[in-house]
Structure 1
Amino acid sequence: MTQSHAEFEARLRRIGAERYHDKHPFHDLLHGGKCTPDQVRAWVINRYYYQHSIPMKDAAFMSRVENSELRRIWRSRIEDHDGTAENEGGIRRWLRLAEAVGLDPDYVASTRGVLPATKFAVDAYVRYVRDKTLLQAVAASLTELFAPQIHKDRIAGLLKNYDFADDSSLSYFRNRLKEAPKDVAFGLQWVLDHADTQEKQDAAANALIFKTDVLWAQLDALYSAYVDPARIPPGAWVPGDGMALAQAS
């Protein structure tokens, strides 16, 4: 039976409560100040691959949208990450975080050293948005419903526990606290309005589950490679590589 808007929104929010990656043990280590400098660097390198793929995901989505109003609204997501004349953008802010933790931003931007599982997960997300229905693509973005709290926890935890953390290095997260609410408000309402049958509601819910799996898989790979059992796969970043000159000397 088709759920009401309120019932379906509650269903979507339960998915986040049960499956969002804020519950992954790597985040407990990171926010609690228990990560080594190299574990933080590994996280920055691998998370960059996700950040730099988001505008490509959104461009793939827009290429399939015939409604000009939807394209206009969605376009701001690309600008938030790629930047504009007035806004340096999230990708540049993430590279500033990379510099702060001692990495060469050019190395990070090259995506060399990214874990294979990170690439597989993120690339699968881009393909999902490119190939699935528009409803599924928008629903997959709704992990942003759950992001504000993790950004707040991350800012507080990093500022408390790491010397590199300051307003400049954490500007990505502070800006997402301002940018994400407009995106998620629109996306949530669009999904509620367009998931007007049980079949469509099930597809949207499964799309959100898929996206939580994408985020969780990235952290599983990171934890396995750099925490326990600390088995770095061939081709992935090895501590000491890709460091800024001041750090490497």
Structure 2
Amino acid sequence: MIEQAKPIYSDKFVQEMQAVIARWSLLKHPFYEIWNRGELTLQALREYAKQYYAHVQAFPTYLSAVHSRCQDMAARQVLLENLIDEERGAENHPELWLRFAEGLGVSREEVRSAQLLPETVASVKALQRLTRGDRFIDGVAALYAYESQVPEVARSKREGLAKFYGLEDARAVSYFTVHEQADVEHSEGEVSLLLAHCDTEDSRRRAIEAAEQSAKAMWGFLDGICNAYVD
């Protein structure tokens, strides 16, 4: 996760949540470590692009599920801004991911029709479950566990694609460029909501548990990729 200097990140509860997420840091997963060393085959990257699209496509529904369960107008507006960023216009995030896949030589139809690995299906179902519970703030914690890691992951992916795979075309890597900044802002909004709505020891405990389950789900997704496509 990108280090944050703002006061909200110095809160003990937030730091405890970040420590739990860090145990399942995506950048420490073998798949991303291999990527960052330039040792992934192009075919493995292509298969990853097909599988990860399941989350890119589903992420707006994670957001809308949390939004629909929130009764606080100010919190709903924070979530809505995030959702708008994901889906609005021709530059919506699923579209940006399809452009990345095309940059790797994978057609849109191949991405959309890909047979999903069991681990991919399980990770999507886990995020759906976490974001569709009765307590919207637990869903926010699950979103935070995911989005707080994205800026640093996106930067490292973009740099690795350029350095090792010659993929520097702005259109092809726009998904990563956008997320280097967008999810810094999204994460900040989610932290503000967590601090405002987790006002008891029990609510903080539940939120931390949701964050850990979310982080573990994404780690499990990468386990599936590694097992299927990395020798």
Q: Answer with 154-163 or 124-133: which moved more.
A: 124-133
Q: Is 2:22 the counterpart of 1:20?
A: no
Q: Answer with 210-219 or 161-170: which moved more.
A: 161-170
Shift of residue 163 of structure 1?
Answer: 2.5
Shift of residue 132 of structure 1?
Answer: 4.1
Shift of residue 115 of structure 1?
Answer: 0.9
- Aligned-partner Cα distance in 2 for 1:89–1:45: 17
Partner residue in 1 for 2:51: 46
Partner residue in 1 for 2:226: 223
Aligned residue runs from structure 1 range 74-89, under 5 A: 74-84=79-89, 88-89=91-92
**Partner amino acid, structure 1, of 2:219:** W
Partner residue in 2 for 1:127: 129
- Aligned-partner Cα distance in 1 for 2:164–2:105: 16
Task: Provide the aligned length of Structure 1 versus Structure 2.
Answer: 221
Partner residue in 2 for 1:106: 109
Deviation by residue 1:157-192 (Cα, 9 ceiling, x = unmatched): 111000334222111011012211221111101112
Partner residue in 2 for 1:238: none
**Partner amino acid, structure 1, of 2:26:** H
Instruction: State the 4+ residue runs in structure 1 displaced beyond 6 angstroms.
Output: none
Q: Answer with 131-140 or 204-213: which moved more.
A: 131-140
Partner residue in 1 for 2:41: 36
Verify the 8 A CA contact 1:95 1:109 in the aligned structure 2.
no
**Partner amino acid, structure 1, of 2:186:** D
Partner residue in 2 for 1:116: 118
- Give unpaired runs (5+ residues) of structure 2: 1-9
Q: Percent identity?
A: 26
- Aligned-partner Cα distance in 2 for 1:83–1:32: 35
Deviation by residue 1:14-55 (Cα, 9 ceiling, x = unmatched): 123222211100001112211111100111011110110001
- Give unpaired runs (5+ residues) of structure 1: 229-249
TM-score normalised by the chain length of structure 2: 0.90
Which residue of the other structure, out of 193, 204, 208, is the alignment partner of 1:205?
208
CA-based RMSD of the aligned residues comes to 1.6
Structure of larger gyration radius: 1
Q: Answer with 63-72 or 205-214: which moved more.
A: 63-72
TM-score normalised by the chain length of structure 1: 0.83
Deviation by residue 1:72-116 (Cα, 9 ceiling, x = unmatched): 3212222222232xx511110100011111111122123x32212
Q: Is 2:73 the counterpart of 1:68?
A: yes
Verify the 8 A CA contact 2:152 2:180 in the aligned structure 1.
no
Question: SS state of the match for residue 148, structure 2?
Answer: helix
Verify the 8 A CA contact 2:126 2:214 in the aligned structure 1.
no
